[in-house]
Chain A
């Protein structure tokens, strides 16, 4: 595939992610910081975000699997994920975390604990779904970027 075609594919992918709301203005602002002096900035950020998110999702899965759920810990982890997704501009993940936290806050209502537990479980599944959707597209984005950079450094030789 030609360099131009690769660039078009990458731009098309990123634009569709903005249009679908997977990414918001924060990501766009961070993209603008990537330049010759920091060519790997976005890749580094994405890698950190994905590692951190998967760690948190694993913790949340474990916490909701306990006989007695510690909702304070659950809330603390969701808060962390909400923070990092907001910082990188991962909008859908952030919104799913906001929804999840609302369910965490409601869990104490008398007589309805079972219902709130299942809502939390469902909310976690929504967060996972949004995250893995985003991650798939981030993986493609990084692969395209690597191919483009390889092409560009070949051209300079």
Chain B
């Protein structure tokens, strides 16, 4: 069942030569493992958290380090949309690209997220091809 991984590393290495760091946010432990696995196969460093609150805590500590945020839309307490807004409203964080994931294809939800500054809106289930497409565009 094991095979050679197909991570092409195209997203790896920022200008400082280190690994790019992506923050993944999802309240589902299964989805967190899937998105983290997909991102790691592209040779990205990943921190996966289970809530918007934890994401903001981490961003408060490591903002310079995070190259992209990828977050689920529907989460208890703070939605991905609310997290997106907080990031875009912060002078320190607003440059960090944010990608939203959702299992539901709701057109005006997608529009609202994009208008609020999301880079992209991905429909679940998240596939490796979706992520490499987004990463190669967003993590230049």
Contacts and interface: CB of A to CB of B under 8 A. Distances in A.
Q: Do A and B bind each other?
A: yes
Contacts of A141: 1
B29 A14 contact: no
B31 to A, nearest CB: 5
Interface size grouping (class) on chain B: 20 to 34
Nearest to A141: B1
A34 B126 contact: no
B37 A30 contact: yes
Interface residues of A, number: 33
Interface in A13-51: 14, 26, 29-39, 41-42, 44-45, 48-49
A10 B1 contact: yes
A37 B46 CA distance: 14
Contact of B125 (A10, A38, A41, A89): A89
Contact of A87 (B6, B34, B128): B34
B28 A83 contact: yes
Nearest to B35: A87
A34 B2 contact: yes
Contacts, number: 83
A145 interface: yes
A140 interface: no
B30 A87 contact: yes
B5 A38 contact: yes
A11 interface: yes
A36 B6 CA distance: 11
A26 B127 contact: yes
B33 A48 contact: yes
B1 A11 contact: yes
B99 interface: no
A38 B4 contact: no
Interface in B7-37: 7, 28-31, 33-34, 37
B41 interface: yes
13 contacts: A29-B129, A30-B37, A31-B3, A32-B128, A33-B37, A34-B5, A45-B33, A45-B34, A49-B30, A84-B31, A87-B124, A88-B34, A145-B1
Given A29-B129, A48-B33, 4 more contacts: A33-B38, A45-B30, A86-B124, A141-B1
